Amino acid sequence: MNNIELAEINIEDLIPHRGKMILIDEIVEMTPEYSLTSSTVNEDWPLLSAGGVSALILIEVAAQSAGVCNGWDRIRVKGIESSKMGWLVGIKRAEFSRDFIPLRSKIITRSENSSKYDNLRITSSVSRVDDDIIAEVTLQLFQAAND
């Protein structure tokens, strides 16, 4: 196991996204099994229209939040220089309580690995704005072996 401290890494070390496609602003809490992330809707987000974004973007927020904890697990086991290859994501379930999320909304997402086997994960995520649950998303993640 590597002795890398959480404070030594950033979001780009954990997920393959770059630039405007990174939707997570802050990692609030992280373990190899779950992450708690914060995202604020801004003008650079995909699916923006008329002062907000479609709730469908919460699927990507859930996927990036899941990528954070699985990226941390990768770094702990294989080191910071290990491959940052992305995951193929399948949507198993997605339920939204809103169709639209206004600009400047702060979204807190908790993603947890409910099942983990080799390069396969099933994650369950809950996204909230204030005290309201706005999405519950279950994803299947698969990462090709990096030989």
Report H helices in the chain: 11-14, 57-78
Is 1 a domain residue? no
Is 56 a domain residue? yes
pLDDT at 1: 44
Backbone angles phi, psi at 89, to 5 degrees: -115, 130
**What is the pTM for the complete model shown?**
0.89
We report the CATH number of the domain holding residue 104 as 3.10.129.10
pLDDT at 2: 52
Write down the mean pLDDT value for the chain. Answer: 87
pLDDT at 65: 94
3-state DSSP assignment of residue 13? helix
Are 111 and 69 in contact by the 8 Å Cβ rule? The answer is yes
**What total number of domains does the chain contain?**
1
Is 125 a domain residue? yes
Which parts of the chain have pLDDT scores under 50? 1
Is 138 a domain residue? yes
Is 131 a domain residue? yes
Is 127 a domain residue? yes
For residue 128, the enclosing domain spans 21-142
pLDDT digits (tens, 9 = 90+) for 9-37: 777 777 778 888 899 999 999 887 899 99
Is 2 a domain residue? no
Are 108 and 132 in contact by the 8 Å Cβ rule? The answer is no
Number of H helices, E strands in the chain: 2, 9
Is 52 a domain residue? yes
